[in-house]
Structure 1
């Protein structure tokens, strides 16, 4: 551990020395501190890549490390000699200049001062924390007040760069990081995402990092039950805010201004931008609108998997990791508009935001009869056949000015097959949830390939009850079922 302390002090004095960062990372790795090691390896950059992939003799590394340690040790000893000289001068002043003691100070004050100076001289200098200000210790089981949540790719959540990104983004004093699995270019927003770590900012710009990955940190993490329960609630809230945020963006794109009230998004057909509302939407409408009005970014600042942030989300991902908009208003996690992607090859339909898949459903298609390209959801209709058990099921969403739609079906056995005349068929439960989640104006991209086969459908569904004013008795739909 002493080598680690000296190397830490050295990289603080020479932050551009990538070899020193690499050697410090090796020390952390040897001591089982994987999170700190990852951060140092990120700082080492190409040096890490070169030395890990080549067969560099261990003697060469040891010789270079010994040189760095010798330089730092000499600097450290010089500092101690200087402080001891100051102590000697202070003691001399105490002996020969008694009148310099302030009035009202007792006789023990001089001894106390000498004692403090002596302690300062003899104590070893503790190097400051890593550049992130993060050190891993056992955190308390209960979260601190004002706890915030964010989510990142599981490959990013344990890295030092992720912590640095959180601190740069102005995260709250306590942040819990949830881990999303990666599937190709996508991150998966699964139900009950596991808790990866917490970062609690302490005084003097430092932060305490606690890993909850027992295998990754080689530690015994605290019990995460209470935090996991809060995390699940946060996930459900972020889905609702994503729907509200996306509806606001779609309304502004169409009408030229933000909706003046929640009622403007929930009118009778054809003004039903949203399929329904929740108590949270009513509570947060004003604050979310204020963020949008203040010009908050509509697109994610970085990949939640951390590709643009050297493994950090932070999944500012489809979303923004615990970031704040103007005036301290907090952005929803998903700041990218919701988009529907249809994969004809795998018979999948996904709801996405940025690089995150929020839902991934199994659908029925029409093979070559299903068109490819980019469309927009125009009509959103409840019971498009005038009843909920017709050929188009209980919900229908028309694709631009065409005869194609995403809708339910009275032939559920056709889901996963190419038996439609070109439309996209969904099971009743799936189409009703999709109808509730995606607003009018949502983009739909249809192509071959691109989505994982793994279904992403939670047991606890998004609220999908639709008001009765979203039917269209004045039109008979002739979609190509």
Structure 2
């Protein structure tokens, strides 16, 4: 399946290219994946008919395939080179952008050179007071804040680092570590163990150092090694918790017309279990995220938001994130791809999870829904037809639920519901709140399953069973 990677990327970028679909179908057919092959052949339309029913030599389409793959690989190389060049140019521009006075300050750095010295190099001379000559304030060493961006440079996926603010030391103290998100088609892939792509460190008044950790271009090791990797792992976990909490706050507002006053408003027994549980980090983050949601709806900056532009002034649960705000700013959604038997949890263009699911073929409805209720042990059993968790789709008799027939996951054996393995449905139940939008359609999600070893779980404190109802999901 070496060619399928580029062919899949090609048809995602060029969905109207019938020949691309035909070639991808031939790859699937060659590897015994006949269901996927048939889907591609249907997309290929007349091209499939022309090649399969005629006596046209196979070497003609093989030659076309070879040229198409060469073009796709060449484009990938050009894009990677362009991104690296962009990063270098943006950093060079820092040397030309004058520093801006901080409010209430009169001293301005005269220049903003970009230093290429390696991590740990000796700093410039300091005054007896411990501050650099001419600096507005001392740089806080070993303070690392995080964000994530598309691999290869400044890309999409969340609040992105902007070069100009770095020219003033008040806006970036210490070090910014940018974690890299892999791109697949239109999606960016989240991971609990995202690699550090590069760091930008403030070395004084307008002086920055940029260090890449791309193994393709640099055999470099992180200055703090396991310590920074551990901080990055903790940060990605915090972002998942904050994504759930922020989405629950938004869903509660959309449904009730008002914001929750307390975290407990989201943690009531069934049917008020907007969230299945909480964590210590979510308890700490509730008020900051609530204020952020209220301010955002009013088109205002949260209190202290301008001071948090680079994360230097942020405190509390948002202190480790670039911009002083959570990385995921769009409500979590569920996307179900009937053609690939996948269910993804997404925020904007970022896929947090991509599960393998069982469906019902044409019996599974397509359209837009929301999670209207969440129940543990449907019909009083954890080992029944619907497994240990169920989430009903609004206005239907369909649900996303577990199963006592794990072999049906990945097949079209249900009467229309979405089936998941026990581990997957229990993680999904904890990861998304009631009120989560659901889109069911054909196509769009990558084939690769995206599930971390460290499953997302919350601490459950309320009764989420519903013994008063017998569910008859399909």
Please confirm whether the aligned pair reaches a TM-score higher than 0.5, indicating the same fold: yes
Secondary structure of the equivalent of 2:355? Answer: strand
| Cα root mean square deviation, aligned | 3.2
1:40 positional shift: 5.5
Aligned positions of 1:154-169 closer than 5 A? 154-157=151-154, 164=163, 167=166
1:225 positional shift: 2.0
Per-residue CA distance 1:267-290 (angstroms, 9 max, x = gap): 011110001101111122122212
Secondary structure of the equivalent of 2:148? Answer: strand
Q: Which residue of 1 aligns with 2:394?
A: 400
Q: Which residue of 2 aligns with 1:147?
A: 144
Q: Which residue of 2 aligns with 1:187?
A: 188
Q: 1:366 aligns with which of 335, 340, 360?
A: 360
Tell me: CA distance 1:139–1:403, structure 2 relative to 1, closer, same or farther (3 Å). same
The structure with the largest alpha-carbon Rg is 1
Q: Distance in 1 between matches of 2:447 and 2:298?
A: 31
Tell me: CA distance 1:269–1:36, structure 2 relative to 1, closer, same or farther (3 Å). closer
Aligned positions of 1:63-102 closer than 5 A? none
Q: Distance in 1 between matches of 2:84 and 2:271?
A: 55
Secondary structure of the equivalent of 2:370? Answer: strand
Per-residue CA distance 1:210-243 (angstroms, 9 max, x = gap): 2122432466664532111110011111111110
1:138 positional shift: 1.1
| Structure 2: gaps of 5 or more residues | 1-80, 93-109, 122-139, 300-317
Aligned positions of 1:191-210 closer than 5 A? 191-210=192-211
What's the TM-score, normalizing by structure 2? Answer: 0.65
Tell me: CA distance 1:353–1:193, structure 2 relative to 1, closer, same or farther (3 Å). same
Aligned positions of 1:281-430 closer than 5 A? 281-295=282-296, 322-324=321-323, 330-430=324-424
Q: Which residue of 1 aligns with 2:469?
A: 475
1:362 positional shift: 0.4
What's the TM-score, normalizing by structure 1? Answer: 0.64
Q: Distance in 1 between matches of 2:165 and 2:453?
A: 31
Q: 2:116 aligns with which of 104, 121, 136?
A: 136
Q: Distance in 1 between matches of 2:167 and 2:274?
A: 36
Q: Distance in 2 between matches of 1:294 and 1:236?
A: 25
Tell whether the 8 Å contact from 1:211 to 1:221 is kept in structure 2 after alignment.
Answer: no
Tell me: CA distance 1:277–1:450, structure 2 relative to 1, closer, same or farther (3 Å). same
1:200 positional shift: 1.4
Q: Distance in 2 between matches of 1:43 and 1:249?
A: 37
Secondary structure of the equivalent of 1:435? Answer: helix
Per-residue CA distance 1:270-315 (angstroms, 9 max, x = gap): 11000110111112212221222222799xxxxxxxxxxxxxxxxx
Tell whether the 8 Å contact from 1:344 to 1:448 is kept in structure 2 after alignment.
Answer: yes
Q: Distance in 1 between matches of 2:275 and 2:429?
A: 8
Q: Distance in 2 between matches of 1:297 and 1:172?
A: 30
Q: Which residue of 1 aligns with 2:236?
A: 235
May I ask how many residue pairs the two structures share in their alignment?
336
Tell me: CA distance 1:378–1:166, structure 2 relative to 1, closer, same or farther (3 Å). farther
**Greater fraction helix:** 1
1:137 positional shift: 2.5
Secondary structure of the equivalent of 2:265? Answer: helix
Tell whether the 8 Å contact from 1:407 to 1:426 is kept in structure 2 after alignment.
Answer: yes
Tell whether the 8 Å contact from 1:212 to 1:222 is kept in structure 2 after alignment.
Answer: no
Per-residue CA distance 1:49-74 (angstroms, 9 max, x = gap): xxxxxxxxxxxxxxxxxxxxxxxxxx
1:336 positional shift: 0.6
| Structure 1: gaps of 5 or more residues | 1-32, 45-126, 299-318, 325-329
